[in-house]
Amino acid sequence: MPETQGPAGIIVIAQAETPAAPGTLPAVSGVEIAVPPAEAHGGGFPPFDAHTFPSQLIWLAIAFGALYLLMSRVALPRIANILEERHDRVADDLEEAAKLKAESEAAAQAYEQALGSARNKAHGIATETRDKLAAESDAGRKSLEAELAAKLAAAEAQIASTKNAAMANVRGIAVDTASAIVDTLIGAAPAAKSVEEAVDTAIKG
C-alpha cells in the first residue's frame, strides 16, 4: 500500500489504483487520510490545551513536591549547616578576640603593677641606702671626732706632763742657780726652803 506525504503533515494512503485509458488520470479507490494526534485535538500548543490541564496540574504537584523534598532534605540542610558553621566561626572569632583583649588588658595591668612596684622598691632602696650612708657617715664622723678628742686629750696630757716636768726641772735649776748666786754674793749658802719659796714666787709671778 503506497503512502504519500501531503501538505501540513497529512499522510495520504492509497489502497488501490485502477489503470486508466490513455489520456485520462488513473482512478484511486480506498483512500485513507491519517491525521496526527495533535491535529486531531485541534492543532493547538499542548500546554495551553484545556484537555491537558489536569495532567499538567498533577505533574506540577509532583514536580513541586519533588523540588520541595529536594530542597528540604538536601539544599536547605546544607544551607542551614553553612549558616550555622559561619555563625559558630564568627562566635568563636569574637570569643577569641574578647579573650585576647582580656589577656592584653590583664598583661597591661600586670605591667603597670610591676612597674609601680619596681618604682616603689627602687625608691625604698634609694631611701634605705641614703639613710644607711648617712648613718655610716654620722657614725664615722662621731668615731673620728671621738678619736680626735682622745688624741687631743692625750696630747694635752702629754703637753701638761712635759710642761710639768720641764717646770720641775726649771725650778730645780733655778733653785740651784739662786743658791749658787747667793752663796757667791754673801759667801754663805742660803736656806734651801727660802730659796725654793723665792723661786716659786718668781715663777708664779
How does residue 163 score in pLDDT terms, banded at 50, 70 and 90? confident
In a domain, 16, yes or no: yes
Q: Is residue 46 part of a domain?
A: no
Per-residue pLDDT of 12-45, as tens digits, reads 444 445 555 555 555 545 444 444 454 444 556 6
d(CA 53, CA 46): 9
172 in a structural domain: yes
> DSSP for 135-178?
HHHHHHHHHHHHHHHHHHHHHHHHHHHHHHHHHHHHHHHHHHHH
Residue 169: inside a domain: yes
Answer whether residue 152 shows pLDDT above 80. Answer: yes
Residue 49 within any structural domain of the chain:
no
Q: Which residues contact 174 (CB under 8 A, 6 or more apart)?
A: 199, 202, 203
DSSP state for residue 185 in the 8-state scheme = H
Tell me if 5 is assigned to some domain.
yes
Structure confidence at residue 100 as a pLDDT band (50, 70, 90) = very high
Structural domain total, the chain: 2
Q: What pairs with residue 88 in β-bridges? A: none
Of 36, 38, 16, the C-alpha closest to 27 is 16
Q: pLDDT tens digits, residue range 61-94?
A: 999 999 999 888 888 888 989 999 999 999 999 9
* 17 occurs within a structural domain: yes
Stated length of the chain: 205
DSSP label at residue 34: E
SS3 36: coil
Lowest-pLDDT choice from 52-66, 97-111, 175-189: 175-189
- Classify 59 as helix, strand or coil: helix
Residue 170: inside a domain, yes or no? yes
Give residue 174's domain range.
165-195
Percentage with pLDDT > 90 across the chain: 27
Ranges of H-type helices in the chain: 37-40, 53-70, 76-186, 192-204
